[in-house]
Amino acid sequence: NAGVMQNPRHLVRRRGQEARLRCSPMKGHSHVYWYRQLPEEGLKFMVYLQKENIIDESGMPKERFSAEFPKEGPSILRIQQVVRGDSAAYFCASSMDRGRSDNEQFFGPGTRLTVL
């Protein structure tokens, strides 16, 4: 049973380019969460999605960042016109359901974005 998969594992972009990060949830999971971890800091929640719906994007920067989770295919976190401050590790997690006490989130290995 494969875990949460993320690709690429490492991504290098120059300032102004676009970054696309992909996340395939665990089999049977329909809830996806994206977190960002800046250097030397803890993970911070960005966005929560279900299939074809954004449930909560309160942690997303207002500009340049967007996320989707289409009916078919992986969830995508898209960063347009990247800046050096976007350099971070981006983690995706998935769960079967939300709101239940035994509903843990399973995390992927992360994508490490470096902006030159």
Partner 1 sequence: DAKTTQPTSMDCAEGRAANLPCNHSTISGNEYVYWYRQIHSQGPQYIIHGLKNNETNEMASLIITEDRKSSTLILPHATLRDTAVYYCIVRVNSGGSNYKLTFGKGTLLTVNP
**Which is closer to partner 1, CB of 45 or CB of 68?**
45
- Using CA atoms, how far residue 64 sits from 1, 39, 81, in Å, is 34, 20, 7
Considering the rule CB under 8 A, would residue 52 count as an interface residue with partner 1? no
Considering the rule CB under 8 A, would residue 43 count as an interface residue with partner 1? yes
* Angle in degrees, CA 42, 36, 22, rounded to 5: 145
First vs last C-alpha separation in the chain: 36
Considering the rule CB under 8 A, would residue 108 count as an interface residue with partner 1? yes
Near partner 1 by CB under 8 A: residue from 27, 42, 62, 84: 42
**Which is closer to partner 1, CB of 44 or CB of 78?**
44
Considering the rule CB under 8 A, would residue 30 count as an interface residue with partner 1? no
SS3 content of the chain, % helix, strand, coil (to 5): 5, 45, 50
Q: Hey, is 10 helix, strand or coil?
A: strand
Q: Which residues bind partner 1 (CB under 8 A)?
A: 4, 31, 33, 35, 41-45, 48, 56, 58-59, 91, 93, 95, 98-102, 104-110
